[in-house]
């Protein structure tokens, strides 16, 4: 097993944000992955991560909802805030028992100010749109003209607009703007009106479809890449037996890739990665995570965990060195399309259908 080493720093994107080369996805400490850990244990894990050099913390207002941000507020007391790069998100909310995506400027401001209050900080380092609102032009999410007439069609030159997110930056409430699960065209449109610092996207040995056009687009524009679920939602840590140990309220039990008809096929990948990791003297999870790290210094994976032991193992992945031949071998084992089943449930809109209407078609509410 690779030992934990020092966590290097990287530049994320081209606007000046610097983060630890590996972050901590905090979602599972509060939501979706079974019964949350006791608060004291969760805070202890966050503090251990920071002390170990993992200072890039990722949360969202929908985790809980809201309870994960409240957990972070308690973890970041007594001088801890100054040691971390805090990322949170807006754009998903529960309304009347349904999930909806929102990207209108008024909602963006309200969501940002609510997150600031919950986490009890003066500024958010990186603020993502969590999912794309396909009803609202991406330009309107980032920018809008004031005042807006209910009948007004927005077709003026973009330089005449005042950006809501831009205003939040100018007010010192956020430092950098990010997107999550956006299509290549949406990324381009957004970046054209305001620099996007980072894109958060699922990227791992079993989720490689972003490599076709999403990753190249980010690199062309100088946008950093934050890889969530780099361990395949725990698959590369435990393999097929992961499903047997999940709580009944763990959302992974509903994911297509963990259904038996797909799992029987997907376990082939785990077995091959395990065999290779044994030769390397590391765990399958460390090998899978090292593959993400070797994608480049513009990539920051944010594996989540509820156990300090697993956190230490994840940090150890930074010391696993892969040759070009080993990278090729891994990629031949995990070719795009090899894994069976969709990576998420259909209700969670992904980059594949995140197109938004053209700016010229927008009418203010």
Q: Give residue-wise pLDDT tens across range 3-55.
A: 555 799 999 999 999 999 999 999 999 998 888 989 999 999 999 999 999 99
- 94 is annotated as an active-site residue: no
Lowest mean pLDDT among 62-71, 90-99, 254-263: 90-99
pTM of the model: 0.91
- What are 68's two structure tokens? 């994960």
- The answer, yes or no, to whether residue 192 has pLDDT greater than 70, is yes
Q: How many CB atoms lie within 10 A of CB 94?
A: 10
Mean per-residue pLDDT for 159-168?
61
- The answer, yes or no, to whether residue 148 has pLDDT greater than 80, is no
User: Is residue 160 very low, low, confident or very high in pLDDT (cuts 50, 70, 90)?
Assistant: very low
Predicted pLDDT at 144: 54
Mean per-residue pLDDT for 181-201?
91
> Residues 314, 305: contact at Cβ < 8 Å?
yes
- What are 336's two structure tokens? 């795009």
SS (H, E, C) 50-98: HHCCCCEEECCCCCCCCHHHHHHHHHCCCCCHHHCEEEEEECEEEECCE
Predicted pLDDT at 15: 95
d(CA 249, CA 258): 14
Share of the chain above pLDDT 70, in %: 90
Question: In the block, which residue shows the tokens 């996007």?
Answer: 196
Predicted pLDDT at 149: 40
CATH class assigned to 9-356: alpha beta
Predicted pLDDT at 363: 64
Domain ranges of the chain: 9-356
- The answer, yes or no, to whether residue 348 has pLDDT greater than 50, is yes
The more confidently predicted of residues 160 and 127 is: 127
> Residues 63, 32: contact at Cβ < 8 Å?
yes
Predicted pLDDT at 137: 78
Predicted pLDDT at 155: 37
Q: Which one from 63, 90, 176, 228 is the annotated catalytic residue?
A: 63
Question: In the block, which residue shows the tokens 């790069």?
Answer: 85
Predicted pLDDT at 157: 31
User: Is residue 174 very low, low, confident or very high in pLDDT (cuts 50, 70, 90)?
Assistant: very high
Predicted pLDDT at 150: 39
- The answer, yes or no, to whether residue 360 has pLDDT greater than 90, is no
User: Is residue 151 very low, low, confident or very high in pLDDT (cuts 50, 70, 90)?
Assistant: very low
Cis peptide before 187 (omega within 30 of 0): no
* Chain segment 286-318, per-residue pLDDT in tens: 999 999 999 999 999 999 999 999 999 999 999
Residues, the chain, total? 365
Average pLDDT over the chain, rounded to whole? 88
Mean per-residue pLDDT for 119-134?
91
């Amino acid at each position: 097993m690779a030992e934990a080493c020092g966590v290097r720093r990287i530049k994320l994107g081209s606007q000046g944000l610097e983060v630890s080369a590996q972050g901590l996805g905090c979602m599972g400490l509060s939501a979706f992955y079974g019964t949350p850990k006791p608060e004291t244990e969760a805070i202890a894990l966050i503090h251990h991560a920071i002390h170990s050099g993992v200072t890039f913390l990722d949360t969202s207002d929908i985790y809980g909802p809201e309870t994960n941000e409240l957990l972070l507020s308690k973890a970041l007391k007594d001088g801890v805030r100054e040691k971390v790069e805090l990322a949170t998100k807006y754009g998903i909310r529960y309304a009347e028992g349904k999930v909806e995506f929102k990207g209108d400027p008024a909602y963006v401001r309200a969501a940002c100010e609510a997150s600031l209050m919950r986490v009890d900080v003066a500024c958010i380092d990186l603020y993502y749109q969590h999912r794309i609102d396909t009803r609202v032009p991406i330009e309107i999410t980032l920018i809008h003209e004031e005042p807006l007439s209910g009948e007004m069609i927005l077709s003026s030159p973009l330089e005449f607009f005042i950006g809501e997110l831009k205003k939040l930056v100018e007010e010192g409430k956020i430092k950098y703007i990010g997107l999550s699960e956006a299509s290549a065209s949406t990324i381009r449109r957004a970046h054209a009106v305001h620099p996007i610092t980072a894109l958060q996207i699922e990227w791992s040995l079993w989720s490689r479809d972003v490599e076709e056009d999403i990753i190249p687009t980010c690199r062309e524009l100088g946008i950093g890449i934050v890889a969530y679920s780099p361990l395949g939602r725990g698959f590369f840590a435990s393999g097929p037996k992961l499903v047997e140990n999940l709580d009944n309220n763990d959302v992974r039990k509903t994911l297509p890739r963990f259904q038996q008809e797909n799992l029987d096929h997907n376990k082939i990948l785990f077995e091959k990665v395990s065999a290779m990791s044994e030769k390397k003297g590391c765990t399958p999870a460390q090998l899978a995570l090292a593959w993400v790290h070797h994608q480049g210094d513009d990539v920051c994976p944010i594996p989540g965990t509820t156990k300090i032991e697993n956190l230490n193992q994840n940090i150890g992945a930074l010391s696993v060195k892969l040759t070009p031949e080993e990278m090729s071998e891994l990629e031949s084992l995990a070719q795009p399309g090899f894994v069976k089943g969709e990576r998420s449930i259909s209700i969670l809109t992904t980059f594949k259908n995140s197109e938004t209407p053209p700016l010229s078609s927008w009418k203010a509410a």
